[in-house]
């Protein structure tokens, strides 16, 4: 090797050694971390793509789903609060395999006297009880709930053998139901309807002592087919109470017989309006169909109050047909006031509907239907046009529960008609949420029994957007000049949960029965994660397109978590494995800070570190070509006249280099940074996030830089950046707009802010929720 080459190699080694010494040190601190890297692809966690479900997140070429059609005759016994029904189910087996038996869900059995549900949690004596709680717990006989199955018969009327295991019923078929075939069978049943205000049931009645009436909100009221799929086989995990429902799509023909003076609405199209409506009601209904700006009363409060006194002995049958729905619900009472208005969705008219007793007024006549209409518009814009012809909001005390086209919502004013802001916003929010559930999971039909977050998380995320849009559409309804006060969705709101006691936090990817706090776990955290994904990680344009793609790919189908995760990547070209892994599969939190800042200036002589290096190797300046030296301002002895000078003013070698190597034009445009900073950021939290940094300069200007989350891919603990700047940096702030749910902001600024007020704010934040 000739001398010149040797010389050049020596210089390269020297420069490389000096420059990379720091980084090597960092890597040594964190051996083996790449095996644990949040950025590795999720091959272990995700199900392998197959012909049913593609790697892109779309339904595969062999995707199938089962269909269950119902013909039902239902009768309500208002006096005894009982419900009777006979149903014929036609079950279509679209799976490639034959089925020897069918599983039906008997959700009401969670309230039967032999239910295991109340026995599965430990209990302990309290030192004091309210009289009501004491009476309910120790004095009263258990409610006699649960289905009484009278028969299960085949289409020829012959009994079919069946076995009930708690909330599941297996019906054994005389011969296996082959792929592509269907079977019809009938079930007859009845049960005692629970008082939902006492038992915290998802459906039941509320009794109004003053007028002796009940208002019924009825659901999970008939034996329903379980889902059979390529993912779970039969989804026959028991209904314990928290994990909700998994249901196949189908068509429903339902006749509901109730006292003649009841007002009733339900899932599906009303087929015999002329039989059940008065002439006046028909006239008002025709008006409502043309009223796009405000609801029209079909039944007034005056009429409802008159009906409350009737207690008719006569009966009336309401007939409905619903196509392509996964469930069925209805509400009925003499007490109901009824209003409706039309909403334009795409090129179609949808009816926004509300049913409420006078106890809901004046709040309900003012705001319920308005909230329904606004929700349909917001959700449709972000997903797909609402495909059903109506959406009903029913007022029921302390309820918040969803079914296709119909839902129950709380929000009751005081007896004198006054109400607090808390009641008002609570009511608007629950209506947005429950009407929103039409999209997730009623149409994008995820398995609620297994994954609470797939409907609750996506719906709560959409609820946040719809609430903000409601606030913009109806500024007169919200506190003047304020944003809609959303309870969930804003990043700062999830900090108390994510920074809380790790022993009571479960990953989002948990079954709803196995989490400690279902609210934050299945609602708030996934909603916040998606909000952060939209605003901070992907950006609105990429996120909105991908989210809409997911909704449209899976509308009227059964998606899994992987179908969602894969579609979000597929439609955006954003690698999100790190995001799903850390937000959905762990209980990690976000905490990123600025650890230290070193300041350098260009010097005409080697700094301390460089000198030490040269001494250790017996090198002198003549052993290598001219270098541009950087000296650390606080540790090196620097000629004070150099500080704040441009590099070419300090280093004559650089000046020469520029003269020899740059054109006059390039020299005119040359940057002349005077201050050099090496900023070390650290990440005490487990979740990698984009690093959002605001640099503030001595001239008062500031600049925001967002480093991609991939900065953490090789080193999960620290990240270092060099900033070369014309003006001095006076402050560095991480996550200046609090958009990442950073749990500890005391390490977010340089120079460190120790202002006690901020620290207290942080501490208060930890306690709240």
Residues lying near Zn ion in the complex (CB under 5 A): 456
Q: Is 19 exposed, middle or buried (0-12, 13-18, 19+ CB in 10 A)?
A: exposed
Half-sphere exposure of 262 (CA within 13 A, CB side): 27
Q: At 578, list the tokens.
A: 């790190």
Contact 327, 403 (CB under 8 A): yes
Q: In this complex, which beta carbon is closest to Zn ion, that of residue 299 or of residue 401? A: 401
Q: How far apart are CA 706 and CA 734, in angstroms?
A: 10
Q: In this complex, which beta carbon is closest to Zn ion, that of residue 191 or of residue 379? A: 379
Q: In this complex, which beta carbon is closest to Zn ion, that of residue 233 or of residue 519? A: 519
Tell me how far, at minimum, the Cβ of 127 lies from Zn ion, in Å. 35
The strand pairing partners of 681, in sequence order, are 594, 719
Contact 729, 697 (CB under 8 A): yes
Q: How far apart are CA 723 and CA 720, in angstroms?
A: 10
Q: In this complex, which beta carbon is closest to Zn ion, that of residue 456 or of residue 636? A: 456
Comparing every residue's Cβ against Zn ion, the nearest one is 456
Tell me how far, at minimum, the Cβ of 56 lies from Zn ion, in Å. 28
Contact 555, 444 (CB under 8 A): yes
Tell me how far, at minimum, the Cβ of 505 lies from Zn ion, in Å. 20
Tell me how far, at minimum, the Cβ of 522 lies from Zn ion, in Å. 9
Contact 530, 560 (CB under 8 A): no
Tell me how far, at minimum, the Cβ of 432 lies from Zn ion, in Å. 11
Tell me how far, at minimum, the Cβ of 430 lies from Zn ion, in Å. 9
Tell me how far, at minimum, the Cβ of 107 lies from Zn ion, in Å. 17
Tell me how far, at minimum, the Cβ of 240 lies from Zn ion, in Å. 17
Q: How far apart are CA 215 and CA 213, in angstroms?
A: 7
Tell me how far, at minimum, the Cβ of 437 lies from Zn ion, in Å. 5
φ and ψ of 355, to 5 deg: -125, 130
Tell me how far, at minimum, the Cβ of 392 lies from Zn ion, in Å. 16
Q: In this complex, which beta carbon is closest to Zn ion, that of residue 95 or of residue 524? A: 524
Q: How far apart are CA 277 and CA 716, in angstroms?
A: 67
Q: In this complex, which beta carbon is closest to Zn ion, that of residue 456 or of residue 469? A: 456
Q: How far apart are CA 520 and CA 502, in angstroms?
A: 13
Q: In this complex, which beta carbon is closest to Zn ion, that of residue 524 or of residue 592? A: 524
Tell me how far, at minimum, the Cβ of 122 lies from Zn ion, in Å. 27
Tell me how far, at minimum, the Cβ of 751 lies from Zn ion, in Å. 45
Tell me how far, at minimum, the Cβ of 447 lies from Zn ion, in Å. 15
Contact 264, 273 (CB under 8 A): no
Q: In this complex, which beta carbon is closest to Zn ion, that of residue 69 or of residue 456? A: 456
Q: In this complex, which beta carbon is closest to Zn ion, that of residue 265 or of residue 456? A: 456
Tell me how far, at minimum, the Cβ of 185 lies from Zn ion, in Å. 32
Q: In this complex, which beta carbon is closest to Zn ion, that of residue 456 or of residue 570? A: 456
- Beta strand 250-259 pairing with 67-77: parallel
Q: Is 397 exposed, middle or buried (0-12, 13-18, 19+ CB in 10 A)?
A: middle
Half-sphere exposure of 351 (CA within 13 A, CB side): 25
Of 749, 718, 728, 719, give the one whose Cα is nearest residue 633: 728
Residue with tokens 């429950």: 434
Task: Write down the number of H helices and E strands in the chain.
Answer: 20, 31
Tell me how far, at minimum, the Cβ of 435 lies from Zn ion, in Å. 11
- Beta strand 228-229 pairing with 233-234: antiparallel
Q: In this complex, which beta carbon is closest to Zn ion, that of residue 206 or of residue 456? A: 456
For residue 3, the SS3 value is: helix
For residue 631, the SS3 value is: strand
Q: At 646, list the tokens.
A: 């441009």
Q: Is 48 exposed, middle or buried (0-12, 13-18, 19+ CB in 10 A)?
A: exposed
The residues near 202 (Cβ < 8 Å, ≥ 6 apart) are 196, 219, 220, 399, 401
Q: In this complex, which beta carbon is closest to Zn ion, that of residue 64 or of residue 497? A: 497
Q: At 347, list the tokens.
A: 């090129």
Per-residue burial over 242-273, b if 16 or more Cβ lie within 10 Å, else e, is ebbbbbbbbbbbbebbbbebbbbbbbbebeee
Q: How far apart are CA 169 and CA 148, in angstroms?
A: 12
Q: How far apart are CA 149 and CA 145, in angstroms?
A: 12
Q: In this complex, which beta carbon is closest to Zn ion, that of residue 202 or of residue 214? A: 202
> Count of CB atoms within 10 A of residue 569's CB?
17
Q: In this complex, which beta carbon is closest to Zn ion, that of residue 551 or of residue 576? A: 551
Q: In this complex, which beta carbon is closest to Zn ion, that of residue 326 or of residue 581? A: 326
């Amino acid at each position: 090797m000739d001398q010149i080459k040797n010389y050049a190699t020596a210089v390269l080694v020297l420069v490389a050694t000096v420059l990379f010494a720091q980084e090597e040190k960092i890597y040594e601190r964190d051996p083996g971390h790449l095996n644990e890297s949040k950025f590795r692809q999720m091959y272990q966690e995700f199900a392998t793509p197959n012909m049913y479900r593609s790697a892109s997140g779309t339904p595969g070429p062999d995707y199938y789903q089962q269909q269950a059609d119902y013909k039902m005759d239902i009768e309500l016994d208002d006096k005894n609060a009982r419900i009777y029904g006979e149903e014929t189910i036609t079950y279509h087996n679209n799976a490639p395999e034959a089925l020897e038996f069918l599983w039906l869900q008997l959700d009401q059995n969670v309230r039967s006297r032999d239910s295991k549900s109340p026995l599965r949690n430990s209990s302990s004596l309290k030192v004091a009880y309210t009289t009501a709680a004491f009476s309910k717990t120790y004095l009263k006989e258990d409610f006699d709930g649960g289905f009484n199955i009278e028969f299960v018969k085949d289409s020829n009327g012959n009994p079919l053998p069946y076995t009930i295991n708690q909330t599941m019923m297996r019906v054994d078929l005389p011969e296996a139901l082959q792929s592509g075939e269907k079977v019809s069978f009938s079930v007859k049943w009845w049960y005692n309807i629970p008082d939902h205000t006492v038992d915290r049931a998802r459906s039941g009645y509320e009794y109004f002592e003053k007028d002796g009436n009940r208002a019924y909100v009825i659901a999970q009221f008939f034996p329903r087919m379980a889902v059979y799929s390529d993912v779970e086989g039969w989804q026959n995990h028991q209904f314990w109470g928290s994990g909700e429902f998994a249901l196949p799509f189908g068509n429903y023909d339902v006749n509901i017989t109730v006292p003649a003076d009841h007002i009733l609405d339900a899932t599906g199209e009303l087929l015999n309006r002329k039989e059940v409506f008065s002439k006046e009601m028909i006239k008002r209904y025709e008006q409502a169909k043309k009223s796009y700006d405000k609801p029209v009363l079909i039944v007034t409060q005056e009429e409802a109050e008159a009906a409350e006194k009737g207690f008719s002995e006569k009966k009336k049958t309401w007939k409905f047909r619903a196509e392509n729905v996964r469930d069925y619900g209805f509400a009925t009472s003499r007490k109901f006031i009824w209003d409706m208005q039309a909403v334009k969705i795409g090129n179609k008219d949808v009816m926004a509907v509300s049913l409420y007793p006078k106890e809901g007024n004046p709040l309900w006549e003012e705001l319920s239907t308005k909230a329904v209409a606004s929700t349909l518009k917001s959700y449709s814009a972000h997903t797909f046009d609402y495909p059903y012809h109506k959406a009903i909001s029913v007022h029921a005390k302390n309820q918040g529960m969803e079914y296709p086209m119909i839902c129950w919502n709380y929000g009751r004013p005081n007896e004198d008609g006054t109400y607090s802001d808390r009641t008002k916003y609570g009511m608007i929010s629950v209506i947005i949420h429950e009407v929103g559930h039409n999209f997730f999971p009623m149409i994008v039909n995820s398995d609620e029994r297994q994954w609470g977050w797939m409907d609750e998380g996506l719906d709560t995320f959409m609820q946040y957007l719809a609430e903000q849009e409601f606030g913009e559409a109806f500024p007169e309804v919200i506190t003047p000049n304020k944003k809609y006060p959303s309870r969930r969705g804003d990043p700062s709101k999830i900090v108390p949960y994510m920074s809380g006691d790790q022993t009571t936090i479960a990953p989002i990817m948990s079954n709803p029965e196995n989490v400690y706090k279902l609210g934050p776990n299945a609602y708030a955290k996934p909603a916040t994660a998606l909000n952060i994904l939209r605003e901070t990680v992907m950006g609105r344009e990429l996120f909105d397109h991908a989210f809409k793609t997911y909704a449209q790919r899976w509308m009227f189908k059964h998606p899994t978590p992987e179908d969602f995760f894969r579609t979000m990547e597929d439609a955006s070209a954003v690698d999100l494995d790190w995001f799903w892994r850390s937000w959905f599969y762990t209980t990690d939190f976000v905490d990123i800070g600025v650890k230290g800042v070193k300041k350098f200036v260009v010097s005409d002589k080697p700094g301390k570190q460089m000198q030490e290096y040269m001494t250790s190797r017996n090198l002198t300046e003549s052993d290598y070509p001219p270098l541009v030296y950087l000296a650390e301002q606080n540790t090196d002895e620097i000629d004070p006249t150099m500080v704040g000078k441009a590099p070419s003013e300090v280093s004559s070698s650089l000046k020469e280099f520029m003269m020899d190597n740059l054109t006059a034009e390039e020299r005119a445009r040359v940057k002349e940074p005077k201050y050099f900073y090496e900023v070390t950021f650290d990440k005490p939290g487990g979740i990698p996030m984009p690093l959002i940094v605001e640099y503030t300069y001595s001239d008062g200007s500031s600049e925001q830089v967002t480093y991609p989350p991939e900065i953490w891919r090789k080193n999960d603990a620290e990240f270092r950046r060099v900033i070369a700047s014309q003006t001095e940096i006076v402050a560095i702030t991480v996550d200046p707009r609090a958009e990442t749910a950073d749990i500890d902001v005391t390490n977010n600024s340089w120079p460190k802010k120790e202002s006690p007020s901020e620290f207290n704010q942080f501490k208060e934040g930890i306690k709240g929720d």
